[in-house]
Amino acid sequence: MTEVSVVRPKFVDGMLLTAEDFCLEQSYLNRRLIQFGQRFSCGVIEGMQVDDYSLGKNGPTLKVSAGYALDARGREIVLDENQDREIDAKNGALCVRHCDPERVTAGVAAKSSSAKAEPQIIRTIERAEFEFFAPSDVSEKIKVGWVPLALIRLRNGKIGPIVPSRGLTGIAETSWKHDGTTLPKEWSITFSAPIARPLPQPIEIRVRNDAGAVVYPAVTDLQLDDTGTTLSFKLARIAEGVVHIRIACDFIMDWKGQAVSGAHVGGHLPSGNGIAGGVFESWFVVKGKRP
């Protein structure tokens, strides 16, 4: 069996230090930082807020504030200062990643005084780069080191709503009132951020009448609107009874590739308890008793 070891220098008084010793110390610390970063979910840690910066510019322009993030490989992505970026006339997810560092070389004297100085790498400069992707591609891009910052929508060549990547997506509104007594005219669910397509069939509706009989009306014609935030569907006619609605949010992914946080805590909206996924549960009564 091959023995795997972790090596770092141990400095003592009077020790002759070489470039190899200092490089070994740096590589050890860098490796530990990456291992530490991999324990956390990738995303923005601080800053990197995206704002409309088009005023006085020739075209739609975004400003990304200074900050730092972690990618899926545990690497830091650092912006030391605000960045401006002009965008073309299309919608998309603005993402950032750690790109290959720039290497600075210089002539370094050889050990022998008679030998000619040779260029060597004496400095590396780490940079970040930005790119737009279709929302449907973001999940795969995250795996290879991209971090989503915001979803950008353009209207008539101007920047419209900017949906930040921070936080979990929840259910923001429903067409029915939880624990109410009114049957909605139309069935719809509105999310706090766009949902990814294709959408599975995550909704189950159960109706129980006063006699205890239970029916499961079919949920059909699921349609996601152009913004990707409102899901509408159709339902067979409901007779009187208690209407129970369950939504399997583990299977509803948002534009960042994260499951919707569905916990309907206390019956209040928006849903969410800080954990992705879960089951959204709600009910209302049609001429019947409350659950």
pLDDT over threshold 70, residue 289: no
**Distance between CA atoms of 222 and 201, rounded to whole angstroms?**
8
pLDDT digits (tens, 9 = 90+) for 123-138: 767 788 999 998 888 8
Answer yes or no: pTM beyond 0.85.
Answer: no
pLDDT at position 174: 96
pLDDT digits (tens, 9 = 90+) for 216-237: 999 999 999 988 899 999 988 8
Give residue 221's region: left, alpha or beta (phi > 0; psi -120 to 50).
left
User: Within its chain, how far is the Cα of 247 from the centroid?
Assistant: 21
Count the Cβ atoms, other than its own, within 10 Å of residue 233: 17
| Residue 10 binned pLDDT confidence (cut-offs 50, 70, 90) | confident
Domains of the chain, CATH where assigned: 19-164 (2.60.520), 171-286 (2.60.40.1220)
**Distance between CA atoms of 226 and 191, rounded to whole angstroms?**
13
pLDDT digits (tens, 9 = 90+) for 176-216: 999 998 889 899 999 999 998 888 889 999 998 888 889 99
Instruction: Tell me the two tokens of residue 123.
Output: 């400095």
Residues 6+ apart with CB under 8 A from 55: none
- Element (DSSP H or E) covering residue 46: strand 43-47
